[in-house]
Amino acid sequence: MIRLGVVATLLASLVSPAKPGGSTSPSIATTPTTDSADKTVVVMLGTGMPRPDPEASGPAAAVLVGSRVFLFDAGPGIMRRMAAAKLPINGVTALFITHLHSDHTLGLPDLIFTSWVMGRRQPLEAYGPHGLKAMTADIIAAWSQDEDIRTNGLEHEAPNGYAVNVHEIAPGVVYDSGGVRVTAIPVLHGDWKEAYGYRIDTPTRSVVISGDTRPSNALIAASHNVDVLVHEVYSAARLAPEKRPGGGDWPLYMHQFHTSDVELGRIAAVDKPKLLVLTHIIRMGATDDDLVRGVREGGFTGRVEVGRDLARY
């Protein structure tokens, strides 16, 4: 599936001329989840980044396959957004963490403990990079007084209902059950030794979630012709040194850790997803139109949506 040679050739030819045109129609579909066994829907739970924005929670997305719920990242606000999206608040089928940056994991304690208090009795199956076990153990330890009082006091919560089964993963297929296969794709995210994007193949659709990444050949190879590519983005036009100590390195940081709208347009022009959804949007003042213009400048002429919390695709 991953043909790096082909992709390298394609990348070498990425001198695509600016090709503006085509239009985007930002819209929030309101199609309800159905019980049809294999219907696959992507729900954006958080399209933001570290800066707190009431309209854009921390990074998180759900892929629904029938009644199964697969979560990708656990940014701050995740349980409120899950409730708003009418997803189960008492546990999910599995959680996949892209990397351990705080903006992607600050919602993990919320996911662990709130689902327990709301009735979870099964361990949370959590997949992610090495270090997730230690992080989870530290979270469980940090709330030990809460666990004691809720379990042994008048709340009578289920003992160990907050349990988490952590699977520290390597690139490749990390989950394959009931027709749903999740593949971890190693991505390049600055100094992080381990960061992943995920490809989800269901009986009806293919979805790739980029996680945080600068342009990465493995991710490009894994995203060829997918139905939905959910990809992080920043505005190339707005990138400039910041007026703060160390702010002169901001453009360098962004180049090493993240993907600009123009770069994403080049990537999508190669991958040709049926739908490109922008997320983890580092706007720096850019409007939706500015971001789409950047993607068009990169050469992608297909359907683009600027991600919104609670949008369904």
What distance in Å separates the CA atoms of residue 291 and residue 306, rounded to the nearest whole number? 8
Min dist. Cβ of residue 191 to Zn ion (A): 10
Structure tokens given for 96: 């996949």
Min dist. Cβ of residue 59 to Zn ion (A): 6
Min dist. Cβ of residue 121 to Zn ion (A): 32
103 binds Zn ion (CB under 5 A): yes
Nearer to Zn ion, 187 or 295 (CB): 187
What distance in Å separates the CA atoms of residue 308 and residue 277, rounded to the nearest whole number? 9
Nearer to Zn ion, 103 or 297 (CB): 103
Nearer to Zn ion, 35 or 191 (CB): 191
Min dist. Cβ of residue 282 to Zn ion (A): 9
Residue 103 is among the residues annotated as catalytic for this protein:
yes
Stretch that binds Zn ion, among 95-103, 142-150, 159-167, 244-252 (CB under 5 A): 95-103
Name which position in 81, 101, 224, 308 contacts Zn ion (CB under 5 A).
Answer: 101
User: Which among 103, 201, 227, 309 is annotated as catalytic?
Assistant: 103
212 binds Zn ion (CB under 5 A): yes
Contact present, 236 and 283 (Cβ < 8 Å):
no
**Total residues interacting with Zn ion, rule: CB under 5 A:** 3
214 binds Zn ion (CB under 5 A): no
Structure tokens given for 306: 């600027």
Nearer to Zn ion, 180 or 230 (CB): 230
Contact present, 287 and 26 (Cβ < 8 Å):
no
Provide φ and ψ at 25, rounded to 5°: -125, 85
Task: Show the site string, 244-283: x = touches Zn ion by CB under 5 A, - = not.
Answer: ----------------------------------------
Closest Cα to residue 80, out of 123, 48, 51? 48
73 binds Zn ion (CB under 5 A): no
What distance in Å separates the CA atoms of residue 127 and residue 87, rounded to the nearest whole number? 20
What distance in Å separates the CA atoms of residue 200 and residue 187, rounded to the nearest whole number? 16
120 binds Zn ion (CB under 5 A): no
305 binds Zn ion (CB under 5 A): no
Min dist. Cβ of residue 118 to Zn ion (A): 27
194 binds Zn ion (CB under 5 A): no
Positions touching Zn ion (CB under 5 A) are 101, 103, 212
As annotated, the active-site residues are 103
